[in-house]
Amino acid sequence: MTLKKMIIINSVITFLLCFLTHFVYDFLPNQILAIFFPVNESIWEHMKMLYTTILLYGFIEYFILKKLRIPNNNFLLTLFLKAIISIPIYLIMFLPIFYNFGEIMIVSFILLFITILIVNIMGYKLLNCNPIKYQRPLAIIFIIIVYIIMTILTFKAPRTDLFFDSDKEKYGINDYLIKD
């Protein structure tokens, strides 16, 4: 399998996996899953979905790379970088459109796929770099730190546009736990 073909296949699978992870919390609402999956329709919660989906697919991707004997130096650090960099890439493309034209679902999906494609291309370039010392423990620490931040921002969402669920006119998860 060529690298180009693998990047496209991985991008399509990650993109499709986003649709599944979007609804995990809806099907199994609990505070543990709220850390990893969207609890509302805010822009922020969709970024959490993107981050988590890239990490989830990365574990599958690891075994695919091993089986195909594709170099995977710095895999865990690359996976973290793909996941974290996907957030600003998506927001840079999405927010100007959103603020000027509102939510256009097809545009959101196209931008999501483009974001995933960009980080997958970047990721394969990083996998071929020389091994970085301590990349695994560093990546694990960074992933944990990001999830701590995401947990705080889910349970104590700032009152800004990024965290606002316009469907229910609420912020974060705590607004949902409080009865109206």
What letter does residue 131 receive in the DSSP assignment?
A: P
Q: How confident is the model at residue 175 (pLDDT cuts 50, 70, 90)?
A: low
**Which of the residue ranges 13-17, 44-48, 114-118, 124-128 would you say has the lowest mean pLDDT?**
124-128
> Given a cut of 50, is residue 151 above it in pLDDT?
yes
In DSSP terms, 165 is beta-bridged to 170
Query: Residue 15, CB half-sphere, CA atoms under 13 Å: how many?
Result: 20
Model confidence pLDDT, tens digit, residues 33-78: 999 999 999 999 999 999 999 999 998 988 888 888 877 778 999 9
> What pLDDT shows up at residue 178?
47
- Which pTM does this prediction carry? 0.89
Total domains in the chain come to 1
As beta bridge partners, residue 171 has 164
Low-confidence winner among 5-14, 27-36, 61-70, 170-179 (lowest mean pLDDT)? 170-179
Which residue type sits at 57?
Answer: Y
Print the domain residue range for 123: 3-177
**pLDDT for the residue 180:** 41
What percent of the residues of the chain are helix, what percent strand, and what percent coil, each to the nearest 5? 75, 0, 25
Given a cut of 70, is residue 169 above it in pLDDT? Answer: yes
Provide the pLDDT for residue 70. Answer: 76
- Which helix (H) or strand (E) element contains residue 34? helix 31-36
Q: What pLDDT was estimated at residue 176?
A: 54
- pLDDT the model gives residue 33: 92
